[in-house]
Amino acid sequence: MNPALMEIASKMMNDTVMIGAGSWIDASKKNAKTYQAWREARGFRGPKVDTPRFEAPIALDIHTKTVAWLERQLKRTGAWDRTVVVSHHWPSWDVLVAKQIVRNPDIALNPDYWKKNTHRPDREDLGVYRLAAYGSPMEAFLKRYREQIDVWCCGHVHDSIDVGLHGVRLASNARGYSYHEDGSNRGDGWGTFDERKIIDLADGVMPALLPEIDAAAKEIDALIDELRLLEKYVHDESDRYQCEIMRTTFNERCQEISRVAEKIAGLVNSNLEARGNFGLHHVISPVHVWAHWRDPFESVRDDDFPAPTTDPAANAILSATKFLHRLRNVHRKPKQFHRVQAYIVAKAVRRLEAHGVRVEVEQARSRFVDDSAFIHIED
């Protein structure tokens, strides 16, 4: 953990004032020395305090030991079917950034910024102190144990968050502090708290992805509508200036579709392809939508520059529409993936056999919901 970030968190968090740490100090002489060294580094060189508080080095020590313990548990084997991890803090900075709990990552995640602002913490209100106090950058840990963890429940942030990250479902359903600004006892996280929320461990990470998938589909659908409105103008070559504007605008919307498609495909693939890979390289391929126009105003002979045989605008709209259809029909239950894989394998087998190749398909069972298929070509 970065010392400057620890300092910022200690200055900004109520935990350092409200939570005592006497039991941790008394647990060993090493702990007492660590705490005293921390105080001296911050300019407190007086006698040992009577009521030591929960400072950053204490949190770091407990975190390090807890992560080591958790790693040992995840490496164990036994007769259990599901594994749920429960922690107070979030195991990711990516979530804090994605949910705007930490803003402007280009600045907020820069160690040079932390060092320069140690004595004036978070002066730009970026939520930098939350990096050290709300979560830990454990993305590599999540990737390593994604197949062992069915869901990771955490809190501290007074917001209900349910996301898929590196193949692990991270979920929080926080009611928050008991008080509320309207005087009720609902909790300051009531706006997003769902008292009926139930997580079915058999569903895997997919339910956490559905809001993102639906939002991306809605955005792409609206952009396709814009392309259809522009389509009738991009072929009107009577006005060169107007035609160029329409075509430029058309391609800008195509770029937006490509950007959204790449982002949502990356999210889906990074979360779903790890569990056995379902016999596929990816769950859904992104799409690059673009209209390649022939310049109607350039004087060239037809034999040098033949007229295109297809409509570039129509092709772009068709590509976007096909991706939208695939996105809306991404299989939303893990148990359905083995049927997708079986269909693709069967199709490949038929193509090979049509060319006279003798094929045998062997199914290998695994403890996950999918079946890994191996094709042996005997010819």
Only one residue has tokens 């809605």, namely 218
Structure tokens at 318: 């068709």
Which residues have a Cβ under 8 Å from the Cβ of 280 and sit 6 or more positions away?
273, 340, 341, 344
Q: What confidence score (pLDDT) does residue 353 get?
A: 81
Query: What pLDDT sits at residue 288?
Result: 93
243: which residues sit within 8 A by CB, 6+ positions away? Answer: 233, 234, 236, 237, 296
Task: Give me the pLDDT at residue 301, please.
Answer: 45
pLDDT at 274: 45
What pLDDT sits at residue 343?
A: 60
The reported pLDDT for the residue numbered 341 is 56
**Residue 374, pLDDT score:** 52
Nearest to 261 by CA among 341, 330, 338, 171: 330
Where does the pLDDT of residue 190 fall: very low under 50, low under 70, confident under 90, or very high at 90 and above? low
Average pLDDT along the chain: 80
289 Rama sector, left if φ>0, alpha if ψ -120 to 50, beta otherwise = beta
What average pLDDT does the segment 64-70 reach? 94
Q: Phi and psi at residue 11, in whole multiples of 5°?
A: -80, -25
Pairing of strands 151-153, 359-364: unpaired
**Is pLDDT above 50 for 368?**
no
Q: Note the pLDDT tens digit of each residue in 18-58.
A: 888 888 888 888 888 888 888 777 766 555 566 778 888 88
Closest of 16, 113, 107 to residue 55, by C-alpha: 16
Tell me how far apart the alpha carbons of residues 30 and 26 are, in angstroms, rounded to a whole number: 9
d(CA 132, CA 114): 11
Choose between 367 and 308: higher pLDDT.
308
User: What are the pLDDT digits (tens) for 278-328?
Assistant: 444 578 889 999 988 876 555 444 455 444 457 899 999 999 999 999 999
What is residue 201's predicted lDDT score, i.e. its pLDDT?
A: 87
Beta strands at 168-173 and 151-153: parallel, antiparallel or unpaired: parallel
% of the chain at pLDDT higher than 70: 77
End-to-end Cα, the chain, rounded Å:
58
Sign of CA dihedral 168, 175, 71, 67: positive
Please write the tens of the pLDDT for every residue from 136-171: 999 999 999 998 999 999 988 888 889 999 989 999
Question: Whole-model pTM above 0.85?
Answer: no
Residue 227 has pLDDT above 50, yes or no: yes
Q: Which of 86-95, 125-134, 251-260 has the highest mean pLDDT?
A: 251-260
DSSP 122: T
Q: Which residues contact 151 (CB under 8 A, 6 or more apart)?
A: 84, 85, 168, 169, 170, 171, 199, 201
d(CA 184, CA 100): 27
Over 80: is that where the pLDDT of 109 sits? yes
Tell me what pLDDT residue 231 has.
Answer: 92
The predicted pLDDT at position 346 comes to: 73
Q: Write out the E strands in 166-248.
A: 168-173
CB atoms within 10 A of CB 43: 6
Phi and psi at 189, nearest 5°, equal -105, 20
pLDDT at 181 over 70: no
Beta bridge partners of 373: 363
Tally the residues of the chain: 379
Residue 336's pLDDT band (boundaries 50, 70, 90)? very low
Q: Rounded CA gap, 226 and 216, in Å?
A: 16
